Chains A and B, each alone.
Chain A
Amino acid sequence: MTDLTDTRAEVRSARTSARKAGRTGAALAPYLQAAPMALVFLIFFVLPLAATIAVSFWQYTQYSIEPAFTAQNYGDVFYGCLANLPSLCTTFLTYISTLKFCLIVWATTLTIGFTIAYFLAFHVRTLKVQVICFLLCTIPFWTSIVIRMISWIPLLGRNGLVNQTLMGMGVIDSPLEGLLYSDFAVILALTHLYTLFMVVPIFNSLMRIDRSLIEAARDAGASDLQTLRHVIVPLAKPGILIGSIFVVTVVMGDFLTIGIMGGQQIASVGKVIQTQMQFLQFPLAAANAVILLAAVLAAVWALLRLVDIRKEL
C-alpha cells in the first residue's frame, strides 16, 4: 500500500512539475516571439536615441567632442529666447514656421485625402475598380521623393510651364515669382508628397463602416451632408488620426522639401540641425534633435488625446 501511494504521489508530483515546466515554456513563448523585433528596436532605435541624448550634454570644440554633463547646448538652442522678448529668437521663429507648415499641410492633405478616400470607398462600386484606383494613387511612389519634388521646379519656375501657359493665355503680363522658392511651393510639394499618407488609413476606416448605418441615416431623413458629418466622419476618426500622425511627424522633421522648394531661404528645424552638423557641432545638433523629438511627441500626444485610438480600433 505504502509503496503504491508513494508511487502515486511521485507520479502526481512528476506530472505537476511537467505541467509547471510546460507553463513556463508557454509563458516564455510570447517573449521569444517578440524578441527579434525588440532586438531590432533596441539596436536601431533605442541605442542611437540614447547616444543622441547623451551627446546632447557633451562639450565640443571645432574639431572635438568631449564627454561631459553640461546644459550649455540646450542653453545655446534657446539663446536669446527669454532675454529678447517680445521679439522672437531663432528657435521660436523656426518652430513657428515649421508649425505653420504642419497646420497648412495637415489641412490640405486631410481635405484632399478624405475626398479621394470617400470617392474610392463610396462612389467606386466594385472591389476590382477600387483596387485599381487605389494602385493608381501609389504610382508616384515608384520614383524617389527627391525626384517627385524636383520635378515641380521646371513647372513652377519663372520661365516654367505654368507661367508660360498663363502668359500665353494673356492672364498675366509678367511671370508670377511666388510660384517657386516660396511658402506656396513648399506647401504644394509637401501636399503632393504626403496626401497618400492620409488616403490609405482613411480609406481603410471608410471601408469598415457598415453600409447599413448609412442607409439607416438616410431612412431617418438625414441629408447627405448630415450623414457625412454625423455618421461617416465620426466613424472615420481612427483613419484620420493615423493619417494626421503620419503627416504631422513627417512635416515636423522635414528639411529636404522645405530646403529645395523654399530655395534654402525658409527655416526648418531639420535645416538648423544640418547646418550645425556641417560645422561639426554635434552636441548642439543633438540637443536640437532631442528638442525636436520632444515637440513631435507632444504633437502626437495631443492628437491621441483627441481620439481614443485603442477603443476605436
Chain B
Amino acid sequence: MTKMTTTRRSVLRGAAALAGTAAFPAPFVHAQERVTLRYLSTAVNQSPAIAEKASEDLGIDIEYIAVNTDEVPRRVITQPNSFDLVDSEYFSLPNLVPSGNMKGMDASRIERIDQLASVIAEGTVEGEKVGWDGTAPHEVLYLEGQDATSFASSPTEWITLIPTTYNADTLGIRPDLIDKEITSWASLLDPDFAGKTSILNIPSIGIMDAAMALEARGDITYGDKGNMTREEIDATIAALIEAKRAGQFRAFWSNFQESVNLMASGEVVIQSMWSPAVTAVRTQGIPCVYQPLQEGYRAWASGFGLPRTIEGRKEDAAYEFINWFLSGWAGAHLSKQGYYPAVLDTAREYMEPYEWAYWYEGEAAEQDIMAPDGRLLEEAGAKRDGGSYWERMGSVACWNAVMDENQYMVRKWNEFIAA
C-alpha cells in the first residue's frame, strides 16, 4: 500500500514548486514533481503489485482508497473530489452519470481504444451477440459529450468507463456433498438442497440470481431480468418468500470471505459465487466446482472513470496510468487470478503460453498453475471450469444491473427479509 493522504511535506513541496515557477518562469521546472493518483475502488480490485509496478514504470504513485461495493457509488455521488480515479462497476453508471460527477473520457487519448474486448464494447463474442439483460456494458459505455448526463446509443468520442476487469458468475458447488449432476440454475431452489443453498445479500444481484433460477424452473419468463417490471418483482419476491419459509436458504453472503467460509465449512453446498472465491475454497484443499449451467452466466464488469473535478497534470497522469494498465502487465496479473482484462492481446504477451492455454483456451494445464503471489492454484492437468474465454463470455445471459424500479425492488426485498 502506498500512503493514504497528501502529506504536509508534499503540499509544501508543491508550494515551493509553485513559488519556483513564479520566480523562474522556465517551462519545465514543475514537471519534475511526482503525481499521486487517489484510486477509489473495492479492496478486491486493488493489487499492491499493480501499484508498485506502475510506480516503477511510470513514476506515478497510486494511493488506494479501499471501500466496499456499495460505498463506491456513494463516494462518487457525495464526495466527487475525494479521488482522482474510480474503478466502478458498469451497473452503477445509470446512477453515477446523471449525477454529473463523472467526466467523459476522451477516446482519442486511450491508445488501445479499438482493441477493447468486444464483449464490453459491443456486447458480442466472436461476432455472436451475448445476453444483454441488465446493464450490459456496451449500453452505458458512451456519452453524448464530455459533460453529458445521459448515455449515447451509438459509439462516440466520450467513454464512461475503461474496463479493468470483468467475469462471468455462476453457481459454485461442493461435488463431494452433492450426488446429483447440476446443470441448471433451477438447482438453487431444488428442495433436495433445502437449508444448504445461498444467494448474494446485495438485493439487486440476489434478485437476479433468483430470477435465473425461477426462469430455469419455468415459473416466470422475464422480459429483462436486469430491469424487471413491478409484476415481475412481485412474482420473484413471492417465490423467494415461499422458498425462505420452506427453509431453502442457509444464509445470504455479503462479501467474498463469507462466501468462501460458507462453502468451505459445508454449511452451503450450492450457491452463487465469484470465480476467485471458488479458487480460494480449492486452495484450502476442499473440492469446489464453478459449475457451468445451461442457462448461462450472470456477468459483471468494472472499469476506470474520472471525476468531474480532475484536470491538469493529474488528468494527464490518469490517462497515462490507464494506457499503461491496458498495455499488458496489469492484464496478465489479473488474468492469473481468474479475471479477464480489457485488452486480451497485450495481456497474452505477458503470460507464458501454458498459462494462456489454461486461463483462456480451456486447455489442461501443462504445468502447475501459480497465482501471481507464487501460491499453487492448480496442479498440472487441471482444466478451468467453464472452459475457454469464448465459451464462458459467449454464454453470458445477463449482466449485474440497477433496475428502473430500483426503489420498489428495495422495498420488496426488505419485505422478503422480514417475511
List residues of B (204-244) whose CB comes within 8 Å of A's CBs: 204, 244
Residues in chain A near residue B411, CB distance under 8 A: 76, 79, 90
Q: How far is the CA of A64 from the CA of B201 in the complex (A)?
A: 24
Whether the Cβ atoms of B244 and A63 lie closer than 8 Å is no
Q: How far is the CA of A182 from the CA of B32 in the complex (A)?
A: 60
Closest to B254 in A: A264
Q: B202 contacts the other chain (Cβ, under 8 Å)? A: yes
Q: A279 contacts the other chain (Cβ, under 8 Å)? A: yes
- Count residues of chain B with CB under 8 A from any CB of chain A: 36
Q: Which of A61, A76, A263, A279 contacts B250 (CB 8 A)?
A: A263
Q: A280 contacts the other chain (Cβ, under 8 Å)? A: yes
Q: With contacts A63-B77, A76-B411, A278-B202 known, is A180 near B267, CB below 8 A?
A: yes
Q: How far is the CA of A280 from the CA of B419 in the complex (A)?
A: 23
- Secondary structure of the B side of the interface? helix
Q: B402 contacts the other chain (Cβ, under 8 Å)? A: yes
List residues of B (303-347) whose CB comes within 8 Å of A's CBs: none
Q: How far is the CA of A153 from the CA of B264 in the complex (A)?
A: 13
Residues of A bordering B, CB below 8 Å? 61-64, 76, 79, 90, 93-94, 97, 153-154, 157-159, 177, 180-181, 263-267, 271-272, 275-281
Residues in chain A near residue B99, CB distance under 8 A: 63-64
Q: How far is the CA of A177 from the CA of B406 in the complex (A)?
A: 34
Q: B418 contacts the other chain (Cβ, under 8 Å)? A: yes
Closest 5 CB pairs of A and B: A263-B251, A267-B418, A264-B252, A63-B99, A93-B418
Mark interface residues in B29-71 (1 if CB within 8 Å of A CB, else 0).
Answer: 0000000000000000000000000000000000000000010
Whether the Cβ atoms of A63 and B265 lie closer than 8 Å is no
Segment at the interface with A among B90-98, B117-125, B352-360, B369-377: B90-98
Residues in chain B near residue A280, CB distance under 8 A: 73-74, 77, 95
Whether the Cβ atoms of A277 and B267 lie closer than 8 Å is no
Q: B407 contacts the other chain (Cβ, under 8 Å)? A: yes
Whether the Cβ atoms of A90 and B414 lie closer than 8 Å is yes
List residues of B (366-419) whose CB comes within 8 Å of A's CBs: 402, 406-407, 410-411, 413-415, 417-419
Query: Total A-B residue pairs with C-beta atoms closer than 8 Å?
Result: 87
Residues in chain A near residue B253, CB distance under 8 A: 264
Q: B300 contacts the other chain (Cβ, under 8 Å)? A: no
Whether the Cβ atoms of A62 and B94 lie closer than 8 Å is yes
Q: Which of B98, B250, B410, B419 contacts A275 (CB 8 A)?
A: B410
Q: Which of B203, B402, B418 contacts A62 (CB 8 A)?
A: B402
List residues of B (254-275) whose CB comes within 8 Å of A's CBs: 254, 261, 265-267
Q: B249 contacts the other chain (Cβ, under 8 Å)? A: yes
Residues in chain A near residue B413, CB distance under 8 A: 275
Q: A265-B252, A265-B417, A281-B410 are in contact. List 19 more A-B contacts (CB 8 A).
A: A61-B98, A62-B406, A62-B407, A63-B98, A63-B99, A64-B77, A90-B411, A94-B418, A157-B265, A158-B266, A263-B251, A264-B253, A265-B249, A272-B414, A275-B414, A278-B70, A280-B73, A280-B74, A280-B77
Residues in chain B near residue A279, CB distance under 8 A: 203-204, 406-407, 410
Pick from A63, A90, A153, A277 the residue with the most CB of B within 10 Å. Answer: A63
Q: How far is the CA of A26 from the CA of B261 in the complex (A)?
A: 63
Whether the Cβ atoms of A159 and B201 lie closer than 8 Å is no
Q: How far is the CA of A181 from the CA of B248 in the complex (A)?
A: 12
Residues in chain A near residue B402, CB distance under 8 A: 62
Q: B155 contacts the other chain (Cβ, under 8 Å)? A: no
Residues in chain B near residue A177, CB distance under 8 A: 195
Whether the Cβ atoms of A281 and B407 lie closer than 8 Å is yes
